[in-house]
Amino acid sequence: MTLKLPQSDGAVRTYTLTGVPIVRPKVPPTFSRLAYAAAHVVSDPLRDSDPWGNPAIDWDATMAFRHHLWGLGFRIAEAMDTSQRGMGLNWQQAQELIHRALIEARSVPGADLACGAGTDHLAPADARTLDDVISAYETQVEFVERHGGRTILMASRALARTARSPDDYRRVYGRILSQTKNKVILHWLGDMFDPELSGYWGSSAFEPALETVLSIISENAAKVEGIKISLLDHGKEIALRNRLPSDVICFTGDDFNYADLIEGDGERHSHALLGIFDAVAPSASKALAALGTGDIKTFRDVIAPTVPLSRKIFEAPTQYYKAGVVFLAWLNGHQAHFTMPAGMQSARGAVHYADVFRLADQANVLDQPDLAVERMRALMKTFGVD
């Protein structure tokens, strides 16, 4: 199969597909790593009268995608950055997403998920004191726990704006962790994902921020299951991983270097909580299943081609990676359209999508090549490529 795609030099050239779709497992596989896929939401363009302010969500398609991920053996990180929290999905909608997903999970044997709780219903400019931030966190954590969910404690724009020192972070996190019913996963999200989180943990430099995070974990060890680190820096993740207590899990959020970090160095390895697993779920599932049996070669052979694709999807401006994730969900038939809350599909251009298409094919990520080509041709026509 062939189609015409634009290049970075402005030329349009014919591309010939070479990929072979990954065969889905008959039953959900088991992994030797904890593996969360951060999942996107599906908008409903036929009911969408205010896509920026209050986008309509197709709940049936959104839940169907969660079944797709559970069927491949993944846990789900629900209502996280990949779902466009704070960039199209508001707290009211996030509550419905969390509630629906928790109910849905109970209908699936072995299904598991954890839910993002943050402060995004509190506008950063409206946070006058640390107590305002604490109250906002309490509201969201209480909602997750009241519905039977486990919490991923998301980074807070309001806290980044209000805090004046590392001690302020220790105070806020200490207060929230002292109240949680169960252990939580902390979330270290770099400013490449959200510029409003610059200087998180009280410093723009890595080493002081690392010391603050480790002190929060040490002071609240009984309440911390693990920490997800999303800095897109292999060395920084290893530095954190090497200093964590033995019973605290490091979840890689490094969408540039996840393959090596998950495999590990023979002594330590990272588990996974990744947005890219939404887009490459069949490949990641096959690779993780192989790793679980000690088949390192298959793990590497399957997962390595997904890394260049992930680096393209997560290229700067990184916060718009969600467009590439949903683009692939559309190409692979998980939704009938390529529209997103807040119109985020417009955040990337024709050449970016063409690059993602080629890399997805080369990584064997296009599950239905005929459908993908048909849809890609239709998209390219909207950019004037016929």
pLDDT for res 165:
98
CA distance 229 to 236: 9
- Residue carrying the six token digits 């929290």: 85
**Model pLDDT, residue 142:** 98
- List of residues 6+ apart from 353 with CB closer than 8 A: 324, 327, 376, 379
Total residue length of the chain: 386
Under 8 Å between Cβ of 120 and 85: yes
What was the pLDDT predicted at 215?
A: 98
Q: How far apart are CA 176 and CA 179, in angstroms?
A: 5
To the nearest 10°, the Cα dihedral for 238, 239, 241, 244?
A: 170
Residue written as tokens 């806020």?
172
Q: What whole-number distance in Å separates Cα of residue 329 and Cα of residue 98? A: 20
Say if residue 51 is preceded by a cis peptide, omega within 30 of 0: no
Dihedrals phi, psi of 271, to nearest 5 degrees = -85, -170
Q: What is the pLDDT of residue 271?
A: 98
pLDDT at 52: 86
Tell me whether strands 2-6 and 12-16 are parallel, antiparallel or unpaired: antiparallel
According to the model, what pLDDT value does residue 386 have? 85
Half-sphere exposure (CA, 13 Å, Cβ side) for 201? 22
User: Which of 278, 226, 233 lies closest to 258, judged by CA?
Assistant: 233
Residues 6+ apart with CB under 8 A from 382: none
Per-residue pLDDT of the chain (386 residues; tens, 9 = 90+): 999 999 999 999 999 999 999 999 999 999 999 999 999 999 999 998 888 888 999 999 999 999 999 999 999 999 999 999 999 999 999 999 999 999 999 999 999 999 999 999 999 999 999 999 999 999 999 999 999 999 999 999 999 999 999 999 999 999 999 999 999 999 999 999 999 999 999 999 999 999 999 999 999 999 999 999 999 999 999 999 999 999 999 999 999 999 999 999 999 999 999 999 999 999 999 999 999 999 999 999 999 999 999 999 999 999 999 999 999 999 999 999 999 999 999 999 999 999 999 999 999 999 999 999 999 999 999 999 98
